[in-house]
Amino acid sequence: MKHTLVARVQDEPGVLNRVSSLFRRRSFNIDSLTVGGSETKDFSRMTIVVDTARTPARLVEENLRKLIPIAEVRDVTDMPTVDRDLALIRVRCDASARAEVTQLAEIFRGKIVDVAVDSVIVEVTGDSGKVDGLVDLLRPRGILEMVRTGKVAMVRGTASVAAAS
């Protein structure tokens, strides 16, 4: 099963290294890990998707908590969240197919952001399922290149992984 953990971490050199070293050392399986700025200057936020087939999510969470620069960790898997993944997909597409690809992208609220003679770049944002859906539909046409950010998540309502603590 996949679990989504959201962590608030001190923004200092080496934090990402500490987290990835922990996962490597303990053979925790990372599906995706994103890091970026947060609402406070000295802190970043990480969204980590872990495969918990081998290690219970609670242990991953508790181990993260032991890292000194980690201020807060929360398993948001069972909470109502907004989660987003962004993908850029370069798909084979000549002039005759452009309309169809554009249409497909639009169904997923994606858009064409670059056009070349025989390919286009599609940008799509959504939860991972939605992005997967579009990728599956585009695959038969030939995906030449793809990059995904991995999931970022935020709890809905007021239950934030907050700076308050």
The residues binding another protein (CB under 8 A) are: 8-10, 14, 17-18, 21, 25, 56, 58-59, 62-63, 65-72
What is the closest distance, in whole angstroms, from the C-beta atom of residue 6 to another protein in the complex? 15
Instruction: Give me 111's structure tokens.
Output: 């858009």
Among 14, 37, 45, 12, smallest CA distance to 154 is for 45
Q: Residues 49, 121, 92, CA angle at the centre, nearest 5°?
A: 110
Q: Which is nearer to another protein, 25 or 80 (CB)?
A: 25
**Distance separating alpha carbons of residues 45 and 26, to the nearest angstrom:** 22
Instruction: Give me 3's structure tokens.
Output: 């679990």
Q: Which is nearer to another protein, 72 or 85 (CB)?
A: 72
**Distance separating alpha carbons of residues 69 and 75, to the nearest angstrom:** 18
What is the closest distance, in whole angstroms, from the C-beta atom of residue 18 to another protein in the complex? 7
What is the closest distance, in whole angstroms, from the C-beta atom of residue 69 to another protein in the complex? 6
Q: Which is nearer to another protein, 28 or 108 (CB)?
A: 28
What is the closest distance, in whole angstroms, from the C-beta atom of residue 11 to another protein in the complex? 11
Q: Which is nearer to another protein, 21 or 111 (CB)?
A: 21
Q: Is 119 exposed, middle or buried (0-12, 13-18, 19+ CB in 10 A)?
A: buried
What is the closest distance, in whole angstroms, from the C-beta atom of residue 158 to another protein in the complex? 22
Residue 93 near residue 137, CB atoms below 8 Å = no
Q: Which is nearer to another protein, 10 or 94 (CB)?
A: 10
